[in-house]
A and B are shown apart, each in its own frame.
Chain A
Amino acid sequence: MKILVCISKAPDTTSKIAFTDNNTAFDKNGVQFIINPYDEWYALVRGLELKEANGGSVTILNVGGADNDPTIRKALAIGADDAVRINMEPTDALGVAKQIADYAKENAFDMVLCGKETIDYNGSQVGGMVAAFLDQPFVSNASKLDMVGNTATIERDIQGGKEIIEVDTPFVLSAAKGMAEARIPNMRGIMAARTKPLQVVEPSAFENTSEVASYELPPAKGACKMVSADNPAELLELLRNEAKII
């Protein structure tokens, strides 16, 4: 079973969000970068579990510059076999998806796994786009994935509940909570990751279909208005007459 796991680099959840260059660029100063949690905890770990149970390989794919290599090495330390970095600063999801699809087309994977969204751009775009470029079925927001032969049984989130579906390989899946438990790399994994293959591939040509023109921080929150615990009814008065929302 040949599995491709797409990972994105994202600022740690607790990072302070600030912008530079006249609010056109994210301020990376002092920011700790991690593997996007949905890509790591759910897509990568489930991919590794399937490989451990059925044999095969897990390849990591990232689109980014050389400064992403430590993040990619972490994915290798968790247990992936090899990695590919497409050497391009990502600008929009369609461009990233095209690079992923071009690589996946040449290397025939049984499945392409990614997280349901990144915690920085919150797009939920790349998985569906890769599926479209590869002309493969797309299963989004999956919370369980089991394989019997070439057939996957997948639980996916739908409006108001869940659905169990079946699909044959190849397919593209975006992973949500429930797929797997996060793994912490051990020392052996970290040592092994240093020598695992990380191939750098130059991107194919494409044109940006969208780009961030500027960023904006929300207005600072005013002080929290406190209501006495002895008279909670006052809270409802405030919500009705001051905030006017009930």
Chain B
Amino acid sequence: MSILVYANTAINKVHKSAFEAVSYGAQIAEKSGDKVTAVVVGNADNLDSLGKYGADNVVHVTSDKLDDFQPNLIAEAMQKAAADNNSSIIIFSHDLSGKSIAPILAAKMNAGIVTGAVDLPQTDGDFIVKKAVFSGKAYAHVKINTATKIISLTPNALEKKEFNKSASIESKSYELADSRLKVKEQKIQSTDLPLTEAELVVSAGRGLKGPENWGMIEELAKALGAATACSRPVSDMDWRPHHEHVGQTGVAIRPNLYIAIGISGAIQHLAGVNQSKVIVAINTDPEAPFFKAADYGIVGDAFEVVPKLVEAAKAMNHD
């Protein structure tokens, strides 16, 4: 038996979320004694690192049909890899690629699936996976009833563990159906770490008064090594790019630290960030709802507080 992990790549690199998924699979395998096989589609120059996080072997699927993101075809390749490796558990990252591929595979294999897992499965007796539901306001413990089980792991939900194995790499070319979907144009807005995988996030809202004031937010993010994000009105007014919008309709994130500056904390915004491990709110209004969801707060004017934070963060980096 084996545990199969889809290791997502972008711009010639295996993603951080893929290493988390591999490490998650390897932690399940520690108990079950299964072998961990990582499947990589497309080119990546850091395949060796998959062993570090627990892969015993890597199946590198090569097909020119997979040059573009083709969820249907990747699901087909994963189904073949699962058959080759006699896989009983298949793991994805719950990111934009996993959200596309995992459900297709579940339907093709008639396998029970839990998307957005936040913890290791409980395997004594029933096979139960914990996931966030109601936009982060609760958790569900979901029992999978089928022999083949598919899980997608929420990025940054679990610390990735190192196993320091040396994984063998094998190239495979699977016979795949013809693609019916043609990619015409790619608009990659950021080659930085995607927001969903960032451990630290500095986010700002309408309280910043205009896009010209984002310099200090970017400076603070840089000093902390954090990604930047924003609230819905800010992205709707085009002060910041759409992919930075976190909240109910934007992306949901789960960083270790979320610093909200000049964001009141409407329930729709909180739905996208309430899974963060530590939340800091900085707002002029002491009654802002964000202070109820935050662990730390500063009541004050962002234009005075943030520059001081930047200085303090820089000083800290020099220590």
Q: Which residues of A come within 8 Å of B, CB atoms? A: 11, 13-14, 17, 19, 37-38, 92-94, 97-98, 116-117, 119-133, 137-141, 143, 153, 157-168, 171, 176-178, 207-218, 221-222, 224-229, 232-233, 235-236, 238-240, 243, 245-246
Contact = CB atoms under 8 A, between A and B. Distances in A.
A125 B10 contact: no
Given A129-B107, A210-B142, A226 B298 contact: yes
In order of increasing CB-CB distance, the 7 nearest A-B pairs are: A229-B300, A128-B103, A132-B107, A209-B112, A233-B312, A210-B112, A161-B188
Interface stretch (B56-64, B206-214, B276-284): B276-284
A130 to B, nearest CB: 8
Contact of A225 (B114, B142, B297, B316): B297
Contact of B95 (A17, A131, A159, A222): A159
A32 to B, nearest CB: 14
Interface in B48-106: 68-69, 71-72, 75, 94-97, 99-106
Given A232-B312, A236-B312, A213 B142 contact: yes
B103 A137 contact: no
A177 B249 contact: yes
B256 interface: yes
Contact of B135 (A13, A140, A161, A217): A13
B100 A122 contact: no
Contacts of B312: 232-233, 235-236
B243 interface: yes
A218 B139 contact: yes
B298 A131 contact: no
B229 to A, nearest CB: 14
Nearest to A12: B267
Contact of B189 (A161, A225, A236): A161
Contacts of A216: 130, 138-141
> Does more than half of chain B's interface fall in helix, strand or loop, or is it mixed?
mixed
A207 B252 CA distance: 31
Interface string B98-123: 01111111111011111110000000
Given A132-B104, A215-B140, A245-B200, A122 B186 contact: no
26 contacts: A124-B99, A124-B115, A129-B106, A132-B72, A137-B72, A137-B181, A140-B71, A140-B99, A141-B99, A157-B243, A158-B186, A161-B186, A162-B186, A171-B181, A177-B245, A210-B113, A211-B145, A214-B141, A216-B138, A224-B292, A224-B295, A232-B308, A232-B309, A235-B298, A246-B200, A246-B316
Interface residues of B, number: 100
B69 A163 contact: yes
Contacts of B184: 153, 164-166
B137 interface: yes
A137 B180 contact: yes
B141 to A, nearest CB: 5
B181 A228 contact: no
Chain A at the B interface: SS class: mixed
Contacts of A38: 249
B298 A238 contact: no
A57 B114 CA distance: 34
B283 to A, nearest CB: 10
Nearest to A233: B312
Contacts of B107: 94, 97-98, 128-133
A138 B308 contact: no
Interface string B125-137: 0101011111101
Contact of B243 (A94, A127, A129, A161): A161
A238 to B, nearest CB: 6
A232 B99 contact: no
A126 B106 CA distance: 10
A120 B134 contact: yes
Contacts of A166: 181-182, 184
A94 B148 CA distance: 14
A65 B245 CA distance: 35
Contacts of B216: none
B217 to A, nearest CB: 14
B194 interface: yes
Nearest to B17: A159
B185 interface: yes
Nearest to B15: A159
B119 to A, nearest CB: 11
B170 interface: no
A15 B189 CA distance: 35
A178 B245 CA distance: 12
